[in-house]
Amino acid sequence: MNLKFFDIVIVGAGPAGGHCARILAKSGRKVLLAEQNDTFDKNDFSSAATPLETLSQFNLPESVVGSCWHKLTIETSKVSQTWESPKNLGVVLNFAKFREFLASEVQGNGSEVWLGCRYTGHSQANGETIVQFKQLSDGQSIKVSTKVLVDATGFARAIMYDKENEKPDFLSGTGIEYLIEVEPEIYNKYANDLIFFLGDKWMPKGYSWIFPMEQNRLKVGAGRIFLDPKTVKSLEPLKKYIDLLIDEYLKSKNYTIIDKHGSTLKYSQGLQDIYYKDNIIAIGDTVSTVNFLGGEGIRHGMDCAQIAGKYIEKYLDGKISDFRDYEIQMHHKFDKKWDISERLAVRKYIDDVNDQLTDRAISYLKYMKTEDVMDILFYYKFEKIHRGFGGYLSRKFKGLINKFQL
Ligand SMILES: Cc1cc2nc3c(=O)[nH]c(=O)nc-3n(C[C@H](O)[C@H](O)[C@H](O)COP(=O)(O)OP(=O)(O)OC[C@H]3O[C@@H](n4cnc5c(N)ncnc54)[C@H](O)[C@@H]3O)c2cc1C
């Protein structure tokens, strides 16, 4: 049987898979990007807030932007703090349009995108890899052959692990989000503000958010870590905290729910994921590029895709025989910052930082400049926390800060 041949088969058209396919297709490689969902409107799960630099760093057009924000607000049980800038600080991407754009660039450069196509397995034959898919529309099985197979299936890690019990230990979390349409006066109030809610009043053991989108639309969501059943029993379902934001914070009486979506994050503690196996390489959330403290993963997944793309090219050109150096570069880039974020996440979401301490921490951060708050939240420059705490809370956090050598 003559199988269709590709230089690279990438499974999963999320930010990591889409961007990796885009780079490799642009450099003239024959790529297949395969995705199990049949449209990008399905699986539109991500809140997709990101700093402004993401657009220029990854050459993204304005058409994928849902809104721009120049304010950052943190609400705790008792404290409300806003930092502002005269210039835009970031954007909220339209996650469906964004992934669709990446896929369109793959096609525009002569490569292929197959939607509604689920990866079901692979085998090795004569130095090449045979990849098997199930076409979801008619259940038909399709096989292709490739030199490099990329696992970009996000938290599912569908290719790298044959069995569930082979996977490393994960910190897992889940988030649910509503896209709602609100009254214009409510939208205008929050149109440029990225708002996070911490603390027991709004979202115990996690955080919730309101992000602006296109005209009159807001993303309202809540997320928390997976906890033991006893703790979960004492908490309300996530939906309750979303309703709380709409009813008590936005005070919207006539909103319409446009879409409800959500997903899971599975982050390997200590970055113990498998990065490659023979000619198979894993990228994005499959190797825990999401920052578990804030749940921000889009630009990190794309960054990883760019690094992987470089090694895939070298592999195809016969300059390297495995992806060991890719794994080394990834650890070099992520290990230290992700280790600190992971420990802070465990402390905040599992060990449970006392609610008053959260209130006080945020009230002390008010003395910080907007750039410094951005540096802490989006660039993980935790050493700046010292300055914001002005001495008082740094004493309270001393043990933690010393431990992590911030
Ligand atoms: C509720 C929520 C809110 C978030 N908000 C933000 C945010 O505001 N900003 C931010 O930067 N990050 C955010 N993130 C994180 C970010 O969305 C992820 O880190 C990012 O999407 C990871 O990209 P990825 O390409 O690695 O994986 P994914 O985006 O998960 O893509 C994996 C793709 O693989 C496909 N797939 C899986 N299995 C198969 C299979 N067997 N065959 C074919 N296809 C398959 C899936 O359908 C999916 O499309 C959020 C995450 C959640 C859950």
C-alpha to C-alpha distance for 68 and 87, rounded to whole angstroms? 10
Ligand 1 pocket member 267 (CB < 6 A): no
DSSP 87: S
Residue nearest to atom 19 of ligand 1 (CA): 297
Q: What is the DSSP string of 8-69?
A: EEEE--SHHHHHHHHHHHHTT--EEEEESSSSSSTT-----EEETHHHHHTT--GGGEEEEE
216 neighbors 223 (Cβ within 8 angstroms): no
Q: What is the DSSP string of 21-38?
A: HHHHHHTT--EEEEESSS
For residue 45, the CA-to-ligand 1 centroid distance in Å is 7
For residue 14, the CA-to-ligand 1 centroid distance in Å is 6
Ligand 1 pocket member 25 (CB < 6 A): no
- 3-class SS at 193? strand
- CA R_g for the chain: 22
* Tens of pLDDT, residue by residue, the chain (406 residues): 679 999 999 999 999 999 999 999 999 999 999 999 999 999 999 999 999 999 999 999 999 999 999 999 999 999 999 999 999 999 999 999 999 999 999 999 999 999 999 999 999 988 789 999 999 999 999 999 999 999 999 999 999 998 777 889 899 999 999 999 999 999 999 999 999 999 889 998 889 999 999 999 999 999 998 877 666 667 789 999 999 999 999 999 999 999 999 999 999 999 999 999 999 999 999 999 999 888 999 999 999 999 999 999 999 999 999 999 999 999 999 999 999 988 888 877 777 668 888 888 888 888 899 999 999 889 988 887 766 555 545 555 555 455 444 4
> Could you report the per-residue pLDDT of 265-320, keeping only the tens digit for each?
999 999 999 999 999 999 999 999 999 888 999 999 999 999 999 999 999 999 99
Phi, psi (rounded to 5 degrees) for 92: -110, 120
Task: Name the domain count of the chain.
Answer: 1
What atom in ligand 1 is closest to the CA of residue 174? 53
Pick the closest to residue 18 from 4, 32, 39 (CA basis).
Answer: 32
CATH of the domain at 319: 3.50.50.60
Residue 297: give the domain boundaries. 4-64+94-167+270-337
Ligand 1 pocket member 94 (CB < 6 A): no
Residue 319 included in any domain? yes
Residue 233 included in any domain? no
How many residues belong to the chain? 406
- Kindly state the helix (H) or strand (E) to which residue 83 belongs, with its residue range: strand 80-84
Please report the pLDDT score of residue 348 as a whole number. 74
DSSP 162: S
Pick the closest to residue 30 from 106, 104, 131, 114 (CA basis).
Answer: 106
C-alpha to C-alpha distance for 91 and 67, rounded to whole angstroms? 6
DSSP 282: E
Token readout for 366 is: 């008010």
Ligand 1 pocket member 153 (CB < 6 A): yes
Ligand 1 pocket member 295 (CB < 6 A): yes
Please report the pLDDT score of residue 139 as a whole number. 96
Phi, psi (rounded to 5 degrees) for 79: -120, 145
Phi, psi (rounded to 5 degrees) for 171: -95, 125
Residue 240 included in any domain? no
- 3-class SS at 243? helix
Please report the pLDDT score of residue 28 as a whole number. 98
> Could you report the per-residue pLDDT of 90-99, keeping only the tens digit for each?
999 999 999 9
Please report the pLDDT score of residue 125 as a whole number. 83
| pTM of model > 0.85 | yes
- Specify the residue for token string 């292709």: 144
Ligand 1 pocket member 208 (CB < 6 A): no
C-alpha to C-alpha distance for 17 and 358, rounded to whole angstroms? 37
Residue 295 included in any domain? yes
- Kindly state the helix (H) or strand (E) to which residue 261 belongs, with its residue range: strand 256-268
How many of the other CB atoms lie within 10 Å of CB of 285? 28
Interacting residues of 362 by C-beta distance below 8 A, sequence separation 6+? 74, 76, 79, 81, 198
Residue 217 included in any domain? no
Please report the pLDDT score of residue 346 as a whole number. 82
- 3-class SS at 272? coil
For residue 44, the CA-to-ligand 1 centroid distance in Å is 9
Residue 390 included in any domain? no
Residue 50 included in any domain? yes
Please report the pLDDT score of residue 406 as a whole number. 43
Ligand 1 pocket member 36 (CB < 6 A): yes
DSSP 281: E
Residue 374 included in any domain? no
For residue 27, the CA-to-ligand 1 centroid distance in Å is 25
